[in-house]
Each structure stands twice: as structure tokens, then as C-alpha cells.
A = this chain, B = another copy of it.
Amino acid sequence: MSIRKNKQPRIRRTPEESRANILSSAERLLTEQGPQTLRLADVAKEAGVANATVLHHFGTIDGVHTALMERMIAELVEKVMAIELTEDTEVSRAQALTTLFEAFEQKQASKLAAWLELTHQAGRLTNVRQVVRDVTRKKFHHQNVPEDVVEDVMLVCITLALGVGLFGQTLSEMLGKPPSRAKEMALSVLMLGLRQLEAERKG
């Protein structure tokens, strides 16, 4: 046993960097280990800092939770707003839907949503309506479809994207199918169903 104390030199970050480091670690824990591991010691360890450092930047462990939610929500909104839908062809629509589904599974946004739902914090998503409105206007302005119909369609798409993002992979594998099968099937059914719905509306 060496007597020498071999302490690592401290890493001193800017407050912004430090907060980002901690939140990234927390996000990793949330998506890889589940919400119950979002404890002070776990987060601090994952971020490679002392417990007190986490509290220095966020006040309480709840502060970490809140900040994490806000960061993940902002990321998701950005991703959704970036979806292209310049023309309204089948192909373009399929691409947009695929991107939407991926947005909800890639950054583990579905897990965030489930966490909010289970903890009754969904109220934090105050801007969902506004985002949907914005998307409706910006992406669908060139079509002659009533806004509330567009909103209904988006409601379905988001609901299904969340379901697929959260459960799709696990369910697919449970049934002995490739992990993306649920997503593929959902996309097919959604495309076909929406086309029919549109046909009915027009006809």
C-alpha cells in the first residue's frame, strides 16, 4: 500500500460546461438505467464530480431533474421543427414521418415523455400546443386542409411515434422479430390509413 495520496487534479470548467456535463451524464443514466437511478450520487459519479458539485450548480437533485427535462424537451422540439415537408407527395410525407419516428426514438424522447407522464409532470410541456400550431402553419400552409384536421393528424402521428419509440423495440424482440419491425409496420399502417382518411375527406 502506498502512503502517497494520489489525487486526480481538479477539472475546472465554466459553469455552462459543467452544467452541460452533468446534464449529459444524467440523460445517459435516464435512458440507459431508468429514472430511479437519477440520484445525486449516481449522477455525480457518472459525471465524474463530487456530489457537492452537482448541488453547487443545480441547488437540489430536483433542480437537476427539472433542468434535464427542459433540456431534453428543447432538443426534441428543435428536431421536430427541423423536419422538412416542402411538398405534399407520398414520398415526402413518408420521409417526414420516418424522421418524426426517429426523432422520438433516437434521443430517447419517448422515455422522457413516459417519465413525465408517469410522474405527472407532463404539465411542463406547456409549449406542445404552440409547437404543433407552428408546425401546422409552417409545414402545411401550402395545402387546403383545415387546420384542426391537420392537428388531428399530427395528434395521431405523435401518439403513435411515442408508442413506437417507447415500446416498439422491446415488443418486436419479444415476438422474435427484428427490433425495427414495429416501427416499419406502424409506418406502413399509418401511411395507408392517412391516405384513406384523406380520400374519404375529399370523396
Contacts and interface: CB of A to CB of B under 8 A. Distances in A.
Contact of A163 (B34, B154, B160, B175): B160
A78 interface: no
Contacts of A35: 35-36, 118-119
A128 to B, nearest CB: 5
A113 interface: yes
Given A152-B185, A156-B185, A175-B155, A166 B114 contact: yes
A185 B190 CA distance: 11
A134 to B, nearest CB: 13
Sort chain A's interface into a size bin. Answer: 35 or more
A176 B133 CA distance: 11
A132 interface: yes
A152 B187 CA distance: 13
A164 to B, nearest CB: 6
A157 to B, nearest CB: 9
Contacts of A119: 34-36
A181 interface: yes
A170 interface: yes
Q: How many copies does the complex hold?
A: 2
A33 to B, nearest CB: 7
A195 B114 CA distance: 31
A118 B197 CA distance: 34
A186 B156 contact: yes
Nearest to A177: B155
B182 A189 contact: no
A57 B120 CA distance: 30
Given A111-B117, A158-B167, A192-B192, 10 more contacts: A33-B120, A36-B119, A117-B166, A152-B181, A152-B185, A154-B175, A162-B167, A188-B197, A190-B193, A196-B196
